[in-house]
Structures are given as C-alpha cells and as structure tokens.
Structure 1
Amino acid sequence: MGQIMEQMPIVVDALNIGFLQTLKLFFVTLIGAFPLGLVIAFGSMSRFGPLKYFSKFVVWIIRGTPLMIQLLIIYYFPGLVLHTPIWGGGESGRFLAAAFSFVLNYACYFSEIYRGGIQGVPIGQEEAGLVLGMTRRQIFFKITLLQMIKRIVPPMSNEIITLVKDTSLARIIALQEIIWAGQAFMKGSHGISGAIWPLFFTAVYYLIFNGILTLLLGRLERRLDYFR
C-alpha cells in the first residue's frame, strides 16, 4: 500500500496527460463529425443518383467495418503501400490520422441519425410551409430542423457516450491517450513496471466524464420537451 501511495503522483500526472489527449480527440471528432454527418445525410437523400449512391456506399463501408481496422488502414496505408506518408511523424501525425478516422467514422453514424430525424418529420408540415409561401430553405431551418433536433438527441447521446470509450482504440496506432498511459506502467514507464492498478484508475476518468456528459445531455433532452 505504501508503494502505491508513493507512485500515485507519478501515475496521476501521466493519466492526466493521457486524458487531455483523449479529450482533445473527443472534441475534435464532434466538431468535425456533426457538420460532415449532415452533409453526408443530405447526400444520401439527394435526388442526384450518383451522389446518393456514393454517399450510401461510403456509409455502408464505414458502418460495416471495425473502427480499429479503419485506424490502421488510414494511418499505415499511405506510407507502407503508396509510399507517400501524409500524416507526418511523431505524436502530432498519429493524432491527425486518428482524428481523421474518428471524424469520418462518426460522421457516417451521425448521418443516419440525421436522415432518420429529417425523414421522421411529417411530410404534411413541409407541404403546409409551401402553401404558406415559405421556401424549402425556410421550411428546413424553421420547421424541420428544430423538430429533427428533438428526435435525434437520444440516439446522438448514445453515440457521444460511445465515442468517449472508443477514443481508447487510438492506442492501436500508438497515440498516447489515457489507456496507453495506464498500460505503460505495466511495461516500465517512469521506473514503474508490473503495476496494473493504474488501469483501474483510467476507468474512473471515463466514468466521471461519461457521468457529466449524461447529465448535460439529459438536461438538453428535457429542455427540448416543448416540441412534443
């Protein structure tokens, strides 16, 4: 017990650094995936055939393959197969590759949620807007969008909570997020080897962060109750 207490400051400092990397990847993914997902959703609903089927094909590929495989292909394929490394070296290069992979992956999942939310709004409301002389742009932003947001909050909340945990997959390309930091103490990091207890501490970070997100998303869902 005394040894653990001595090691605690070193472990907490390392986990904090790893968790900051996890948070960075989480927020970058959301910032990129929210708008890209909407673009893909519009592509999937487009009346222009090639765009529609291309969008659906991309979504099918991304949703049908593991995120871990996507990370490996996106990070290693340009350099090993095409002999054109595009991500650069070091931690920044690994982060760029991970961020690109996560944004693309979650944008495809978000696009299906967007599409379901948009198509779930009764068509009669769009027709009523047209009768009142509104443009399709006005109908979307003043009628469809607000109702869509209410419909998509619960499934979006689930995806956002899943994203927090999925960030741990970035360690497959050696991105030093929080799980990587916890595992390092089993291999001799900072002069500490064979210590498994730091991994249990990483679970505490995830639980607290997911708890905060659950409260915030629950509050958002309650505030949108007026659309019922």
Structure 2
Amino acid sequence: MKKLIRSLPLLVLALGVTLPAVAGVHWGYEGDELPENWAKLSPEYQMCGLGRNQSPVNITTPIQAQTAPLEVHYGTTSGNIVNNGHTVQINEGKPDDYIVVDNQQYHLVQFHFHAPSENQINGKSYPMEGHFVHSNANGDLVVMAIMFEEGPENTAADQLLARLNAKENSPEAFDNIDIKSLLPANMQYYRFSGSLTTPPCSEGVTWIVLKQPMTLSKTEIDKFTQAFKHHNNRPIQPLNGRLIIEN
C-alpha cells in the first residue's frame, strides 16, 4: 500500500489528469514549451533532459526472444472522452479491462493519441499512435502502443469521436463501446524499457509496441488532429544501449 501511495503522483501525471497542484509548470509542443525545452521549464522535469531511458524510440534491430504471448482482456466498456489540451484522452470507467505481462495483471486506466506517431519502426512514422496506459497494484506502468495508418474507418474510434467535445477539459461520457476493436488481430510486439513521453518524463515504464498497425479513415484522423490543433509528438530519444526485444 505504501508503494502504491508513493506511486500515485506519477500515475496521476501519466494519466494526464488536469490538476494544477499536481501538474506543475505548464508544458506543450510549441514555442518556448516545446519538448526540447521541457527540462528547462521546471526542476520537476529534469528527467526529460537527464534521463538515459527516455521514450519514444526508433525501433531497429530488435532481438528475437522467447516471450510469452500478450494477453489482452478488453471488452465493452464505458468512461469519458476529453480533449485535455495535450491530447484526446479516453478515461476508463470500468476496472474490468486488463493485460497480462510477466504473469501480472495491469489494468487499463486510460488511452490517448499522438499525431504523428511518437515511436517509429525502422525509421517509419505513422499518422497516429495510440497509447494504452495500464497500472498494476504497485503503481507500475505498462504502455501498449498501437500504430494507426490511413484506411478503412474504425467503428470504435468513430463512436468515441462522436462524443468528443471540441472545448478543452470538457469530458463527455460514453457507454457500451467495444475498445478491443481498436486492437489488431496479430498481437506480436516489440518491448523495451522507457519513460513517460510527457513531463515529468519519469522512467521505469515498460513499453509494448504492437507490430501490426490498425487503420483509421482520413475523416477520423482529421477529427483527432483538429482537436490537437498542432503536432503532439515528442521527438525520438536515443537508445543509450538499451535492448529492444520482439516475439
């Protein structure tokens, strides 16, 4: 319990909750607040400049490993969708959705989107990337990333966007949306140790990047990017000797 309590500030920041007392100095993706300056904005954000295991990364030359298949237990869920000024975020309303990593359950707390993608695969960037943020009982984080490219529309994304309020920090509730339909059929993945991709850039986050991309229609991609009003992707960070494994 003590470890969970100590982890709460990190978890709150990871979830993008807009609480001035917790969020600290304002940061962004433009002007003086762009990612290259995050470490200068506040002592709380020093890891953005000093960290050695930062995200996102360019995934190249992964090492083949005998890893367990990724177990994903998602279903029909409820919650709310909000433009929080940094991203479009979907906050999970039920505790039922989880993944299993290293024989531990990590429950889905929220997911959000970046355009263009933050991570790259062999130097390739995608129009959008979804980050599904999970936490276990100790407050440890696993982010499952899914790449999106232009193609057929996605029913779940369309249902979510229909509930999105263009006004910032104005959450709108939704119900009975099958979020598993946002995931590909092939759940093979890359895995590496990284960080939050937003301040305070805390490290110790397990990253799982799915190999198979999903599709969104041009209209859906445009609706997301219009909500962002600007790119919201952090530049690629150096690996600094880290290994990336794949299954």
TM interval, short-chain normalised: under 0.3
Higher helix share: 1
Please, what TM-score do these two structures have when normalized by structure 2? 0.19
Higher strand share: 2
